Amino acid sequence: MSQPNVGSMWGFSSCHRKRALFAPLFLLLVSIPAFAVTASGFVTKIDSTTAFDMGSLHVLFDSQTQCLMATPSAKQWVPGPFSGRLSYHRPKLSRKFVPCGTLNFVVGERTYIVGTQYGGRSFVAKKIIAYTEVLEKPGEKLRNTAIIEEQPELQNKAGGWNGILWVDGYPLTITTHTRMLTAPASTSLYYMYSNRISYNYITHSKIHPKDIPAFSSDLLRENNCVTYHAIYGQDGSLTAENLRFWPNHVDAKEKRYWNKFRTWIIDPDYKKHIYGSIRFNRFNRGILRHGPTLTILPDRTIQEWVSNLGMGIVPRYQRGLPDTDATKIHFRFYVVKSFGSALNGYLRIIDGVALRKYDDVLVAMPNGIVLIPDSALEKLNNKAELAAILEYAISSILQKQAYVIYPFAFSYWPGSGSNVGDQEPGVWQSEQQLRIGIRQMYLAGYDIREAPFAWAVAQDKPVNNPIINSKHPNKDIPWYAAYAFNYISQYYKDVDYSKLKRGEKEYQAFLKELYKADPSLPHPKVAAAATSAAATK
């Protein structure tokens, strides 16, 4: 992707105008109490060629500022058999001085700054280090299997296919050298069953150079599965070497997985303001066992508001499937009272199937039921944050993460650990949720800068961007936030964020209704506290 013109993106016609304004602005700051500090974090807004935001910090720089570009010179592998391709520990860096005007800052870029802070928000930088984050070195390969969630932008000309295929949250470049294959009829996703791996299914690693390149163009559409082998280029782009397609389907085994967990739902009586309920049941060793019960808020406005937002970010192809289609997910979103300890010890893997639960933030079931407690909703600040939370659930359901393995991964949600050392083998699932969730947020028009810290906000945890005078910023910023920012910086460089919505006013109006529906919630936040978590106005 080409670098954006940051001046024109934010409505500035000339960098010289900003440089002329910098001097008088600096003189005004001299009279404000100043503090020499360092700060580390991720760029959240490009204001001009001489100013950017790092979360709540507004950074100014000019021709006197020293700028360095830091590039990893050696990859540092992290523990765990499936997270080795990601590195959040600081590797050895190769640093070189460059003119600040050549850095081309982008949203999501990691930076380290040294300078003077004036008051609460303004920061004049004496030194800026811009980190060039890479997931893989040029020439290294990426492979996985996912369900296509948006229409491929491909054309068949010059004897082959060309264009872009967005899958698994990645923009794969398709060239005439890409081998397009139709998978055998026996191909399916890779299931876990009764704590054992089922080897009856062809997995993403089974593309072989001797495979016959038979291909049907009918498979180039949403709701089909694709196994991809791609290679990283010098600029970080991904070029597909091999693609194998097959139709998405629901076989007898998958239907059995769907029935592992069942719910008994009694809808609220909205007119009489009587609470509804959701009781969990599950089959274990062929026996139906009753589980805990959650309470549904009896407020139609609240329920429809969240449900409409959730359905609005479900991929378009899914919403358009007929109800009779076996792959149609009938999503249902419910606002419930706080989970408390009701679900602890209950939502665990049973015969290879796990409900997707993350602390007191969300529960997602394979059949499309998504539960979010009002205690999490009241902590959020805008619609974009809620969209990020719900998108993780939607992505996990559509990609069948409750019972699909790679090749031996368990339930894992963003936020379980504060840094990479706390990751579990199933971290690949969270990475996929983040990538696809951010992609679908963008397609729905929501501000993707709200995604990295949405989980932290929902738990009422501090949003540490930037980190002031910290010796270990990689530990203070959760790994999933760093991963999300890195992903955004690589694949969304040309985004005009002024056209994306956060929906702050609408969400504040929603919160007023939420407090009426559940008076036991904490008192409403003051207006000054209801600010964006991951981006600055």
Give residue-wise pLDDT tens across range 429-446.
Answer: 788 889 999 999 999 999
Give Cα 49 distance to the centre of its chain: 28
**Sign of the C-alpha dihedral, residues 486, 489, 490, 496?**
positive
Instruction: With a cut of 60, say whether residue 348 has pLDDT above it.
Output: no
Give residue-wise pLDDT tens across range 352-369.
Answer: 444 455 557 888 888 899
Is 462:456 a contact under the CB 8 Å cutoff?
yes
Give the bridge partners for 124, in sequence order: 60, 116
The H-or-E segment that residue 56 falls in is none
Give the bridge partners for 196, in sequence order: 193
Q: What are residue 40's phi and psi, to 5 degrees?
A: -135, 140
pLDDT level of residue 325 (50, 70, 90 thresholds): very high
**Sign of the C-alpha dihedral, residues 135, 77, 427, 140?**
positive
Give the bridge partners for 303, in sequence order: none
Give residue-wise pLDDT tens across range 50-69.
Answer: 999 999 899 999 888 999 88
Give residue-wise pLDDT tens across range 462-503.
Answer: 888 999 887 666 667 888 898 899 999 999 999 999 999 999
Give the 3-state secondary structure of residue 354. Answer: coil
The pLDDT of residue 109 is 92
CA–CA separation, 281 and 348 (whole Å):
13
Query: Which position has the higher pLDDT, 305 or 426?
Result: 305
Q: Work out the percent of the chain whose per-residue pLDDT is above 90.
A: 41
Residue type for position 279? R
Q: Tokens for 531?
A: 């600010």
Give residue-wise pLDDT tens across range 12-21.
Answer: 223 333 333 4
Is 489:135 a contact under the CB 8 Å cutoff?
no
The pLDDT of residue 238 is 94
Count Cβ atoms below 10 Å from residue 242 Cβ, excluding itself: 18
Overall pTM > 0.85: no
CA–CA separation, 222 and 316 (whole Å):
9
CA–CA separation, 7 and 3 (whole Å):
12
Give me the residue label for tokens 């930088």.
Answer: 125
| Domains of the chain from N-terminus onward | 6-131 (no CATH), 141-249 (2.40.50), 254-409+502-526 (no CATH)
